[in-house]
Chains A and B, each alone.
Chain A
Amino acid sequence: GQNIDQPTEMTATEGAIVQINCTYQTSGFNGLFWYQQHAGEAPTFLSYNVLDGLEEKGRFSSFLSRSKGYSYLLLKELQMKDSASYLCAVRSTKGGYNKLIFGAGTRLAVHP
């Protein structure tokens, strides 16, 4: 089956660092995405990992370990505007076609 787990909620302080974990079990794994979704808005692309290791993009980094079925999103120098839901999504080729399967998201609250 397809299963993606991430914590439901996290809180952090402005200026701090936070790590949001995602574990997955899926057949036909072909890459992992992180999306940011502010309340009432569309998800927006943050990062994509297809090989093991760390991808860094400004204040945001994403890590993937395919053997462990594990990824994390690291947010540095947190700002109030980072308060949002962060969605882990696995790209799967199960069934012969590519599709993104999303986790339920982690709601991050950044406070002063």
Chain B
Amino acid sequence: NAGVTQTPKFRILKIGQSMTLQCTQDMNHNYMYWYRQDPGMGLKLIYYSVGAGITDKGEVPNGYNVSRSTTEDFPLRLELAAPSQTSVYFCASSLDANTGELFFGEGSRLTVL
């Protein structure tokens, strides 16, 4: 089973460039999440989605956008990359809020220079 798949795994951006991190899950999960993890820290929620067509901001949404046109896909868009967005980004999914179990992708390491 593929689970949660993220691409790319590594990327280097120049300041001001834009890019999209892709996230796909094949578990038919309704809930999907984007987190960032800074060095030596826990994860912080950027955006989440409770189903196709429904997204909302998390703790640290500034500088990012998301869309959810299908159940499977939840891309994260970085506009005008800044050094502060250097981080590891994790996508996660869960079947519903009651189960409490999130499944995480392998992560995407982004460096902005």
Q: Do A and B bind each other?
A: no
- B residues near A (Cβ < 8 Å) are none
